[in-house]
């Protein structure tokens, strides 16, 4: 089940054990309302298509063609791909480190989780919002939003990703160490 935890960012100087929790909810309506108040889109859609083990990108995109078309119409996204991570993925450690650094994008980051889970952590104003996304969750993070993503040490997720730019995922790292001070997906 999806989960939203909100912390003040001034706790970033404390140890993870000393973090102050302002809100912790698994209620989809609360999650959607709290994220919406901060300009983040969050919806829960049916992720009814089961994917066979080892499904390639073409199979994943075909299985979710209807959802993909809906999002493309809403946002004018030129490029769509799918990322699937498993515990035996050869680049899992490298990708985890890359995604775990606070960064921004010049375009919206839009993800639909079709299996598994991942942790989006958003640094908005003076807050850090930790959003556990699971199968069926659609996140829309506006361009310029500071954030990081944790797929855990044994990743198991598949997400469809939409991009306005044909190069796909391009990050601008902030150089901040804040991501090291907040809970991870372990």
Q: How buried is residue 32: exposed, middle or buried, by Cβ count under 10 Å (0-12/13-18/19+)?
A: middle
pLDDT of residue 140: 95
Residue 182 is assigned to a structural domain of this protein: no
Residue 152 is assigned to a structural domain of this protein: yes
Residue 20 is assigned to a structural domain of this protein: yes
- Give the number of domains in the chain: 1
Residue 104 is assigned to a structural domain of this protein: yes
Residue 61 is assigned to a structural domain of this protein: yes
pTM: 0.90
CATH code where residue 62 lies: 2.60.120.10
b/e map 83-109, b = 16+ CB within 10 Å: bbbeeebeebeebbeebbbbbbbebbb
The 10s digit of each residue's pLDDT in 6-34 is 999 875 554 456 788 899 999 999 999 99
> Who's near 33: CB < 8 A, 6+ residues apart?
none
pLDDT above 90 coverage of the chain, percent = 69
Mean pLDDT of the chain: 90
Residue labelled with tokens 């089940």: 1
Residue 123 is assigned to a structural domain of this protein: yes
Residue 80 is assigned to a structural domain of this protein: yes
CB atoms under 10 Å from CB of 149, counted, come to 25
Q: Hey, which residues does 43 pair with through a beta bridge?
A: 138
Domain of residue 60: give its range: 3-177
Quote the tokens at residue 95. 């990708």
């Amino acid at each position: 089940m999806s989960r939203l935890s909100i912390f003040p960012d001034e706790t970033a100087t404390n140890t993870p054990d000393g973090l102050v929790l302002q809100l912790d909810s698994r209620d989809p309506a609360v999650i959607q309302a709290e994220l919406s108040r901060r300009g983040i889109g969050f919806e829960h859609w049916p992720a009814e298509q089961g994917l066979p083990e080892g499904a390639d990108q073409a199979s994943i995109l075909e299985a979710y063609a209807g959802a993909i078309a809906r999002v493309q119409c809403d946002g004018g996204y030129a490029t769509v791909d799918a990322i699937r991570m498993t515990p035996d993925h050869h680049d899992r450690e490298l990708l985890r480190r890359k995604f775990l650094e606070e960064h921004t994008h010049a375009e919206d980051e839009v993800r639909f989780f079709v299996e598994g889970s991942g942790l989006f952590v958003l640094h908005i104003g003076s807050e850090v919002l930790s959003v556990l996304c699971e199968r069926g969750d659609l996140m829309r993070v506006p361009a310029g939003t500071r954030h990081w993503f944790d797929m855990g040490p044994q990743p198991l997720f598949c997400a469809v990703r939409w991009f306005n730019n044909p190069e796909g995922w391009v990050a601008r790292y902030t150089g901040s160490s804040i991501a090291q001070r907040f809970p991870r997906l372990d």
